[in-house]
């Protein structure tokens, strides 16, 4: 076996081990998961998620997923908790504790302290008979047969299982809250996913200049307008309505087909019936139109009047494409 074959073999084996472990989680899911979800859903507080080592890293990711899908959550490191950060936990908070073994020294110290506060504890552990499993109100079993690590030591399969259970909790809560695409956009205003859900054509046209000429504008001035506004296009306007467009492609065709063109006007070289989109339409819909018609610009209109230009470069810059 050469080096490439060996690497690919190890990679495939790792994926297979983890995939089988995740499939087995379906058999381990029981009423405790349903009760844990309902506990969080009915709580008037937040979700505090804690762990140690690699489990702490998974806890951070689950916190991020909860927060982005409408369930307020805070990360609390298990070691820091017993050195002052225990004050993070408030009266109505629900605590999720993640630990593969459920028997680490920090967990054994932390859990009784949380129980003194009478907060509900949800365990995510690979050992339901552990200290954590026995002391928690709800136990989510993430048992695995082995780590993907060939020495069965480095947390690999176990952390993947923890992550999947965290996702299951988040998605169940998302469903109960009726969390919609509009809610998602509210929590993701700066990301490409959010922009697809909230960015409108009007947000794009506001960034651009507004090139326009009249039917009688001579060709020289049309070229100047297209060049100065730097969008590769100008609208042709008559009585505040768009009656045509002229693109830099139209200019090139005109130059190729006419030796004398200085007497031509916008009306002579424009393309009528241009593709348009409403100013209040979603930017992602503008992208769909651009791709469908294989063009680079769209004319935006508001109440039948010219509002501006959307260029495909705008959508690329916003991360939508």
CA distance 256 to 182: 49
Which tokens in the block code for residue 185?
Answer: 């956009």
* Count of other CB atoms within 10 angstroms of residue 10: 12
**pLDDT number for residue 180:** 79
**pLDDT number for residue 34:** 98
Q: Do the Cβ atoms of 119 and 103 come closer than 8 Å?
A: no
Q: Do the Cβ atoms of 95 and 120 come closer than 8 Å?
A: yes
**pLDDT number for residue 193:** 65
CA distance 319 to 306: 26
Closest CA relative to residue 211, chosen from 263, 246, 255, 249 = 246
Collapsing DSSP states into helix, strand and coil, what is residue 260?
coil
Q: Which helix (H) or strand (E) holds 124?
A: strand 121-125
Could you tell me which CATH class the domain 3-179 is placed in?
alpha beta
Domain extent listing, the chain: 3-179, 198-317
**pLDDT per residue as tens, the chain (321 positions):** 899 999 999 999 999 999 999 999 999 999 999 999 999 999 999 999 999 999 999 999 999 999 989 999 999 999 999 888 999 999 999 999 999 999 999 999 999 999 999 999 999 999 999 999 999 999 999 999 999 999 999 999 999 999 999 999 999 999 999 987 777 767 766 666 667 777 899 999 999 999 999 999 999 999 999 999 999 999 999 988 999 999 999 899 888 888 777 789 999 999 998 999 999 999 889 999 999 999 999 999 999 999 999 999 998 888 876
Could you tell me which CATH class the domain 198-317 is placed in?
alpha beta
CA distance 317 to 280: 20
**pLDDT number for residue 258:** 80
Task: Name the β-bridge partners of 91.
Answer: none
Quote the Cα angle for 51-53-54, to 5°. Answer: 90
Phi–psi pair at 18, nearest 5 degrees = -70, -35
Which tokens in the block code for residue 317?
Answer: 């810059």
DSSP type of residue 200: B
**pLDDT number for residue 190:** 63
Task: Name the β-bridge partners of 123.
Answer: 97, 139
Phi–psi pair at 199, nearest 5 degrees = -70, 130
CA distance 271 to 287: 21
């Amino acid at each position: 076996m050469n080096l490439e074959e060996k690497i690919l073999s190890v990679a495939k084996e790792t994926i297979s081990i983890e995939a089988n472990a995740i499939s087995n989680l379906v058999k381990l899911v029981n009423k405790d998961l349903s009760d844990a979800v309902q506990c969080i859903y009915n709580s008037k507080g937040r979700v505090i998620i804690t762990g140690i080592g690699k489990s702490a890293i998974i806890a951070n990711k689950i916190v991020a997923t909860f927060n982005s899908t409408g369930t307020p959550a805070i990360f609390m490191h298990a070691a820091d908790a017993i050195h002052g950060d225990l004050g993070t936990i408030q009266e109505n908070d629900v605590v999720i504790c993640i630990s593969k073994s459920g028997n680490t020294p920090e967990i054994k110290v932390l859990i009784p302290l949380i129980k003194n506060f009478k907060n509900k504890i949800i365990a995510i552990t690979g050992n339901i008979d552990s200290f954590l499993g026995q002391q928690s109100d709800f136990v989510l079993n993430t048992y695995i047969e082995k780590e993907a690590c060939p020495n069965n030591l480095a947390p690999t399969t176990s952390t993947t299982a923890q992550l999947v259970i965290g996702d299951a909790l988040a998605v169940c809560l998302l469903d109960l809250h009726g969390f919609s695409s509009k809610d998602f956009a509210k929590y993701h205003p700066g990301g490409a996913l959010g922009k697809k859900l909230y960015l409108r054509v009007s947000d794009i046209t506001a960034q651009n200049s507004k090139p326009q000429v009249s039917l009688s504008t001579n060709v020289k001035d049309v070229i100047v307008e297209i060049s100065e506004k730097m969008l590769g296009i100008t609208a042709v306007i008559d009585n505040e309505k768009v009656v045509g467009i002229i693109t830099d492609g139209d200019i090139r065709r005109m130059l190729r087909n006419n030796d004398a063109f200085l007497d031509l006007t916008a009306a002579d070289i424009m393309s009528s019936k241009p593709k348009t989109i409403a100013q209040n339409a979603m930017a992602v819909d503008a992208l769909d139109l651009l791709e469908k018609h294989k063009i680079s610009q769209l004319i935006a209109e508001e109440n039948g009047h010219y509002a501006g230009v959307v260029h495909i470069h705008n959508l690329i810059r916003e991360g939508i494409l």
